Amino acid sequence: MPDRPVIDPPLIAQHNDQRAAAMVTDLSHLGEQLARRDVELESLCERVGALEVAIPSWGVGTGGTRFARFPGPGEPRNVYEKLEDCAVVHQLTGVTPRVSLHIPWDAPDDAGELRDAAAALGLGFDAMNSNTFQDPPGQALSYRFGSLTHVDRAVRQQAIEHNLECVEIGRALGSQALTVWIADGGNFPGQLHFRRALDRYVESLREIAGALPDGWRLFLEHKLYEPAFYSTVNNDWGTSYWAATQVGEQASCLVDLGHHAPNVNIEMIVARLIQLGRLGGFHFNDSKYGDDDLDSGSIQPFQLFLVFCELVDAAEESVPGFDPAYMLDQSHNITDPIESLMASAMEVQRAYAKALLVDRVALSQAQDNNDALMALEILKAAFNTDVGPILAQARARQSGAIDPLALYRASGYRQRKAVERPAAAGGSAGIV
């Protein structure tokens, strides 16, 4: 229990009391079903309860599109208020104990004070994110035509120094990783020399990697397109993988589920990166068309499950160096961000729980027998199992809510914040 719980614990206890009996009945029924499949419920519950996913600080604000942003009531106005909202998600779901900050959006005046404030809320810090896709006010040189890959060495130097500043802040906060996503690329054929731009990317990253503290990891996040609409420097997993190998041991690839061409087999990309020893982590979200940043599992829950099948497989085989970092990365245009983040965190947990249910021995046999239909049936048997009672119990055991959405709405948190946090004047469009 955090020193400063954001939701009143007795309220959660009362909510859980009203639902505990039904949960126990559902759980025991599921336990009987699983026993027939030789799955032991308790160890499954423990593994599910141990899953952790980081929250992006930017996820607690209302995002937007290129066209408009419709701010919701009680939006956080600074990093401390963002932490409070993140703490609600963690307190009710028990899945999100760390926050991933974006600098300069979240640059603290006093990192030590911020670390203490987070700890009081029961939170720590995950990977730091640099931002060289915007020009902050007063910055000497512009990133209009790129940052770490810019043709001008002085701009690249400025971007490198910004990344190192993020590391310094992260060090004071207890983070141990830096995620680099750059918007660098070209909007017109001929604008960029593809090979030279990629060389400059690797060269800049080497300088960043060389200055990382011991134990730190560097995650390279690729993205197919946007905001560059013709060519992006780190555009796909192959480029990202190659760049990581050129940068050094600290570098690995971060897979954002929205950053691929339509219909790409993301679970296979995940398997490839595991096999090549460079899977750094994830930004979970969902999409229908492009980098839509929708809530995890809202469009393709089966794909999310298949990604977790690869992750569970690698963990069970103890693939050397396999230790991916899990984060959400989504943007909420019309929903309450806290509700969306809770829903996503639980969907990630659900996909993991289902992946743990796959009968791997039977799957392996089906594969060896070229029994395609049976292989799929084995996956579907796991995917179609309702693991909801396991998730509910995991939350209850961590003093979270059996039904986080119902509890959150009943708590009046958003209404209180709407009064405490009057909307800031102005407002901007656009999120990347």
Q: Among residue numbers 329 through 368, which ones bind ligand PSV (CB under 6 A)? A: 329
- Under rule CB under 5 A, residue 347 binds Mn ion: no
Query: Which residue's CB comes closest to ligand PSV?
Result: 181
What is the H or E stretch that residue 82 is in?
Answer: helix 79-93
Identify what 219 binds: ligand PSV, Mn ion, none; CB under 5 to 8 Å per kind.
none
Among ligand PSV, Mn ion, none, the one that 313 touches (CB under a kind-dependent 5 to 8 A) is none
d(CA 65, CA 428): 10
Only one residue has tokens 């009680």, namely 74
Tell me if 256 contacts Mn ion by CB under 5 A: yes
Rounded to an integer, what distance in angstroms lies between the CA atom of residue 255 and that of residue 238? 12
- Of the candidate residues 69, 150, 217, 223, the single one contacting ligand PSV (CB under 6 A): 223
What is the closest distance, in whole angstroms, from the C-beta atom of residue 125 to Mn ion in the complex? 17
Whether cis (ω within 30° of 0) applies to the bond prior to 301 is: no
State how far the Cα of 87 lies from the Cα of 94, in Å rounded to an integer. 10
Q: Which residues contact 392 (CB under 8 A, 6 or more apart)?
A: 19, 23, 26, 27, 402, 403
Query: Is position 305 an interface residue for ligand PSV (rule: CB under 6 A)?
Result: no
Among positions 283, 332, 395, 414, the unique one binding ligand PSV when judged by CB under 6 A: 283
Q: Which of ligand PSV, Mn ion, none has residue 417 at its interface (CB below 5 to 8 Å by kind)?
A: none
Alpha-carbon dihedral 311, 255, 180, 200, rounded to 10 degrees: 120
329 contacts Mn ion (rule: CB under 5 A):
yes
CB contact at 8 A, 271 and 307: no
Min dist CB 30 to Mn ion, Å, is 34
Give me the sign of the Cα torsion angle 157, 158, 159, 160.
Answer: positive
We find the least distance from the C-beta atom of residue 194 to ligand PSV, in angstroms, to be: 21
Residues 120-179 that bind ligand PSV (CB under 6 A): 129
Of 4 and 229, nearer to ligand PSV (C-beta) is: 229
- Interaction of residue 240 with ligand PSV, rule CB under 6 A: no
Give me 182's structure tokens: 């750059």
The residue behind tokens 């701010």 is 71
Instruction: Please choose which of Mn ion, ligand PSV, none residue 129 contacts, taking the beta carbon within 5 to 8 angstroms, the exact cut-off set by kind.
Output: ligand PSV
431 binds, among ligand PSV, Mn ion, none (CB under 5 to 8 A by kind): ligand PSV
Closer residue to ligand PSV, CB minimum distance, 58 or 408: 58
277 DSSP 8-state letter: T
Cα–Cα distance for residue pair 381/330, rounded to 1 Å: 29
The H or E element containing residue 98 is: strand 98-100
Residue 329's CB is within 10 A of a number of other CB atoms, namely 27
In the list 125, 181, 241, 284, the residue contacting ligand PSV (rule: CB under 6 A) is 181
The first and second tokens of residue 181, run together, are 């996503």
Ranges within 196-255 binding Mn ion (CB under 5 A): none
Q: How many residues does the structure list for the chain?
A: 432
- Kindly tell me which of 222 and 395 has the beta carbon lying closer to Mn ion: 222
Position 432 contacts ligand PSV (CB under 6 A): yes
Taking the least distance from each CB to Mn ion, the nearer of 256 and 339 is 256
Q: Which of 75, 106, 126, 256 binds ligand PSV (CB under 6 A)?
A: 256
Number of residues engaging ligand PSV in binding (CB under 6 A): 11
Given candidates 106, 291, 310, 347, which one binds ligand PSV under the rule CB under 6 A? 291
Decide which of ligand PSV, Mn ion, none touches 223; Cβ closer than 5 to 8 Å per partner kind: ligand PSV
Among 11, 39, 374, 431, binds ligand PSV (CB under 6 A): 431
d(CA 60, CA 83) in angstroms, rounded, equals: 9
The whole-angstrom distance between residue 390's C-alpha and the CA centroid of its chain comes to: 22
DSSP letter, residue 422: P
CA–CA dist 86, 53 (Å, integer):
12
| Residue ranges in contact with ligand PSV by CB under 6 A | 58, 129, 181, 221, 223, 256, 283, 291, 329, 431-432
